Amino acid sequence: MATIEDFDRLDMRVGRVRSVEELAEARKPAWKLLIDFGPEIGTKRSSAQITNYAPEDLAGRLVVAVVNFPPRQIGPVRSEVLVLGVPDEEERTILLRPDGEVPLGGRIF
């Protein structure tokens, strides 16, 4: 069982996808995302296997990500945040996002 203290150690924030590029070097299809988390955290990179979204559907979209995991090297990309999603019935990842506009960098609690 996780404790509330375990949950509190995760820093989940809202960011806006600023750019999307294909990660051609990946073994599985993926996108390179540049995500703006506002002035406190800044802009971070992520590699995400969410190719069920077209680049034009991702650019400008609000997303929820864990921002305090150590960076991971995914091929040529240093992935700095983990974008959160849930698989649907067809195993496509559906991204988590707020229902409305919220400040960039807003913390999930």
**Residues 64, 106: Cα–Cα separation, whole Å:** 9
Query: 1-6: which pairs have CB atoms within 8 A and are 24 or more residues apart?
Result: none
- Name the residue type at position 89: E
pLDDT digits (tens, 9 = 90+) for 16-73: 999 999 988 777 888 999 999 999 999 999 999 898 999 999 999 999 999 999 999 9
- Domains in the chain (CATH in brackets) are 4-95 (2.40.50.140)
Neighbours of 62 (CB within 10 A): 19
**Do residues 40 and 103 touch, judged by C-beta distance below 8 A?**
no
pTM for this one?
0.93
Contacts of 70 (CB under 8 A, 6+ apart): none
Closest CA to 44 of 27, 57, 24, 63: 63
pLDDT digits (tens, 9 = 90+) for 72-101: 998 888 999 999 999 999 999 999 999 999
Mean pLDDT for 97-108 is: 96
